[in-house]
Amino acid sequence: MPAVQQLSPVYPLGSTINERGVLEIGGCDTLELAREFGTPAYVVAEDDIRARARAFVEAFRGRADAFDVLFASKAFPCTAVYRLLAEEGIGCDVASGGELALALGGGFDPARIYLHGNAKSDAEIEQALAAGVGHIVIDNVDEIDRLDRLVGEGRRQAVLIRVTPGVRGVTHDAISTGQIDSKFGLSIEDARGAIERVGAAGHLELAGLHLHIGSQILELEPFRRAVEAIAPLGDFPVYNLGGGLGVAYTADREAPRINDYVATKVDAVRDVFGPGKTVVDEPGRALVANSCVTLYTVQSVKRNVSTWVAVDGGMSDNLRPMLYGARYEAQVVDRFGGGTRCHLTGKHCESGDVIVRDADLADPRVGDVVVTPVTGAYGHAMANNYNGVPRPPIVFAKDGDARLVVRRESYDDLFARDVER
Ligand code: LLP
């Protein structure tokens, strides 16, 4: 019998290595999942997402006077995920008309939806108004009169104003948004003018302020400083503090606990603005990232200066290593351990298509199924058809049962939008 390996804590909750030495996600043998659903495939441990949603809600319930937790749905815009999180009773953040359509289709109560966007079109605003979304987050001054006009006679729309606090967390530049020179939100100075303008608008109701300093942030202190920074703008019923809590992608990293993150934000609002405020949070990554793994099959093993282990996916299913230099772990699903230093590469036509540089796999061979954990956030979300590669299916695993919630794209899908063929 193979020795039971210690699983890296970045795998979904409840992951194990079974008596056959194979990784199990949600009680399902990953070799069997690869056989049944093909590879590449995203496999989601449903209970992991539920547990994290509950952890956010419990943390707020224990601490905040009033709160709402929103799923920042850009992280994993898949109907089954929307449905699961709607069932958990949380709200939803959408950043486009498309995400709004998906959120409504996934069962979210429109009143619990917040619409974001730095370039909302009239059509998107009209769509949100028709759906009856609870809040629209104003990002810029141009939007105010336009929104007021579109809401129109006899109606009022609750809004927040997005403020750029001038606070940076340590993260990749591409996903840092708290700095003054940002395409998102208004500086403290400009926000003063916007607050006046919204106050004077006939059909807008200013509920409060919004801020979001960035994503994949692993220290808590910037979240507190951001709240302090917006204090000069005065007192409002609602403070929506965005998302941003980072996760561990590899065993050597540690992320703050959900409880401590929530405490930091709630305490900051109470300390700065006093009791009785509604604190809204918009976790994306921290809700869904660790719930999901990607399964690939090795297609070739090439040795030159390095060892190149090439799999059947890559930058079409996980752009994060290429866009942000993000580090992932990898293992052969039925031979955890290491021994062969190699680059886990994708099948795409560029040298940058490396999923994990300097991976350590156990004697990787053609036909092996390889897993990369922590692909739930912004994996499926940013998947694409580069090189005509169909996007992977999404499989939900729970208590030993697996069900397909998104099928693999087909070649027919690649032609689906052609008007001329
Ligand atoms: N709220 C707002 C207004 C946001 O812009 C975002 C993320 C969130 C909440 C959720 O942030 P989270 O809790 O997930 O950090 N594609 C990048 C991440 C882009 C994040 C964009 N906005 C990545 O793969 O790292």
Q: How far is ligand 1, taken at its centre, from the CA of residue 285, in Å?
A: 7
| Contact between residue 159 and residue 207 where contact means Cβ atoms under 8 Å apart | yes
Q: How far is ligand 1, taken at its centre, from the CA of residue 96, in Å?
A: 13
pLDDT value of residue 263: 98
Residue 224 phi/psi, 5-degree rounding, is: -70, -45
- Whether ligand 1 lies within 6 angstroms of the CB of 286 is answered as yes
Q: How far is ligand 1, taken at its centre, from the CA of residue 126, in Å?
A: 24
- Whether ligand 1 lies within 6 angstroms of the CB of 320 is answered as yes
Name all domains of the chain by residue range, CATH numbers in brackets: 16-45+289-415 (2.40.37.10), 47-287 (3.20.20.10)
Q: How far is ligand 1, taken at its centre, from the CA of residue 171, in Å?
A: 12
Q: How far is ligand 1, taken at its centre, from the CA of residue 282, in Å?
A: 9
DSSP 126: H
Residue of 52, 74, 288 with the most ligand 1 atoms within 8 Å of its CB, for mutation: 74
- Whether ligand 1 lies within 6 angstroms of the CB of 282 is answered as yes
pLDDT value of residue 175: 87
CA distance 310 to 302: 8
Q: What is the mean pLDDT of each run of 10 residues along the chain (421 residues)?
A: 67 97 98 98 98 98 97 98 98 98 98 98 98 98 97 96 91 85 94 98 98 96 97 97 98 97 98 98 98 98 98 98 98 97 98 98 98 98 98 98 98 97 87
Residue of 76, 241, 282 with the most ligand 1 atoms within 8 Å of its CB, for mutation: 282
Residue 327 phi/psi, 5-degree rounding, is: -95, 135
Q: Which residues 6+ apart lie within 8 Å of 173 measured at CB?
A: none
Q: Which residue, among 302, 277, 293, 295, has the nearest Cα to 365 in the 3D structure?
A: 302
Q: Which residue, among 346, 342, 349, 353, has the nearest Cα to 308 in the 3D structure?
A: 342
CA distance 206 to 191: 12
Q: pTM for the full model?
A: 0.97
Smallest CA separation from ligand 1 atom 2, residue:
242
User: Over the Cα atoms of the chain, what is R_g?
Assistant: 22
pLDDT value of residue 196: 98
Residue of 116, 215, 247, 265 with the most ligand 1 atoms within 8 Å of its CB, for mutation: 215
- Whether ligand 1 lies within 6 angstroms of the CB of 243 is answered as yes
HEC letters along the chain: CCCCCCCCCCCCCCCEECCCCCEEECCEEHHHHHHHHCCCEEEEEHHHHHHHHHHHHHHHHCCCCEEEEEEEHHHCCCHHHHHHHHHCCCEEEECCHHHHHHHHHCCCCHHHEEECCCCCCHHHHHHHHHHCCCEEEECCCHHHHHHHHHHCCCCCEEEEEEECCCCCCCCCHHHECCCCCCCCCECHHHHHHHHHHHHHCCCEEEEEEECCCECCECCCHHHHHHHHHCHHHCCCCEEECCCCECCCCCCCCCCCCHHHHHHHHHHHHHHHHCCCCEEEECCCHHHHHHHEEEEEEEEEEEECCCEEEEECCCCCCCCHHHHHCCCCCCEECCECCCCEEEEEECCCCCCCCEEEEEEEECCCCCCCEEEEECCCCCCHHHCCCHHHCCCCCEEEEECCEEEEEECCCCHHHHHCCCCCC
Strand partners, 93: 72, 114
Element containing residue 263 per DSSP (H, E): helix 258-273
Q: How far is ligand 1, taken at its centre, from the CA of residue 284, in Å?
A: 6
pLDDT value of residue 5: 54
Residue of 118, 265, 285 with the most ligand 1 atoms within 8 Å of its CB, for mutation: 285
CA distance 318 to 242: 24
pLDDT value of residue 82: 98
- Whether ligand 1 lies within 6 angstroms of the CB of 255 is answered as no
Per the residue annotation, which of 92, 292, 342, 349 is the catalytic one?
349
Has 342 been annotated as catalytic?
no
CA distance 366 to 278: 54
Q: How far is ligand 1, taken at its centre, from the CA of residue 304, in Å?
A: 39
- Whether ligand 1 lies within 6 angstroms of the CB of 284 is answered as yes
DSSP 245: B
Residue type, 23: L
| Contact between residue 349 and residue 387 where contact means Cβ atoms under 8 Å apart | yes
